[in-house]
Structure 1
């Protein structure tokens, strides 16, 4: 098994404002006013998209750097929609990627393939088991 990532979260009486703590960073998550929150930070779905976007961009950047390709910039637009169909839910994530730089069609296609291999993409597209216990 690879590195274990640990995150601590706590919520008090502030409607839905949640403090998130990793080893090195503190973040705030919240819900929008339409859900009763105060919009002081990204909502949970935005955090999922942020993780996928960050991982995708970094994975593509690392690959291009190793190949010494002239990749100037990676830009991503992501959206998430949950569709309810006859008692089940299907989550649709749309990821649009734009590569800037002096790249030929073959390099661009390869970077698109590499984007599909980022660790968070794999996590979201494979079986995930969540075990919940009391502290």
Structure 2
């Protein structure tokens, strides 16, 4: 069977075999493992897909903020970004809500903290998740 590989700017391949839910993820330069928690049949050998999604938003936010504060030469100490994901079903309407909390170990004045919030909201993964997303799927 010939595989069609999509030519894209970024690509990840996921491969799952006989072992329940353990999934090998291959990026251009890295191999990772995704899995599900034991309580739903996995072996918890790696983050769940939702964990990877939240990790992407948290990492992108932290990196974007670090680039900005370095360019401005602001002293923030460590930058920590926590992301939580909540699923809601209200009257048959399903939605997901990300809550992102940014903290710095060395507080800045209010004006600079407000600017950090604006910069956090402009990270590429935030932009991807808050704009229309289209997923084209084919099966071979």
How high is the TM-score relative to the length of structure 2?
0.90
Is the aligned partner of 1:45 residue 2:18?
no
Provide the C-alpha distance between the structure 1 equivalents of 2:136 and 2:34, rounded to a whole number of angstroms. Answer: 22
Identify the match of residue 10 of structure 1 among 11, 15, 20: 15
Give the match for residue 20 of structure 1: 25
Alignment partner of 2:106: what SS?
A: strand
User: In the alignment, is the contact (CA less than 8 A) between 1:17 and 1:37 conserved in 2?
Assistant: yes
The alignment's C-alpha RMSD in Å is: 1.3
Identify the match of residue 124 of structure 1 among 125, 129, 132: 129
Provide the C-alpha distance between the structure 2 equivalents of 1:102 and 1:34, rounded to a whole number of angstroms. Answer: 40
| Deviation beyond 3 Å, 4+ runs, structure 1 | none
Question: Which structure carries more strand by proportion?
Answer: 1
CA displacement, residues 9-38 of structure 1 (integer Å, 9 cap, x when unaligned): 100001000000001101000011121111
Unaligned 5+ segments in structure 2 are: 1-7
Report matched runs for 1:1-135 at 5 Å.
Answer: 4-101=9-106, 103-135=108-140
Provide the C-alpha distance between the structure 1 equivalents of 2:105 and 2:40, rounded to a whole number of angstroms. Answer: 38
Provide the C-alpha distance between the structure 2 equivalents of 1:58 and 1:25, rounded to a whole number of angstroms. Answer: 19
Superposition deviation, residue 97 in structure 1: 0.9
Q: Which moved more, 1:9-18 or 1:63-72?
A: 63-72
Q: Which moved more, 1:83-92 or 1:120-129?
A: 83-92
Superposition deviation, residue 102 in structure 1: 5.7
Provide the C-alpha distance between the structure 2 equivalents of 1:36 and 1:68, rounded to a whole number of angstroms. Answer: 48
User: In the alignment, is the contact (CA less than 8 A) between 1:99 and 1:108 conserved in 2?
Assistant: no
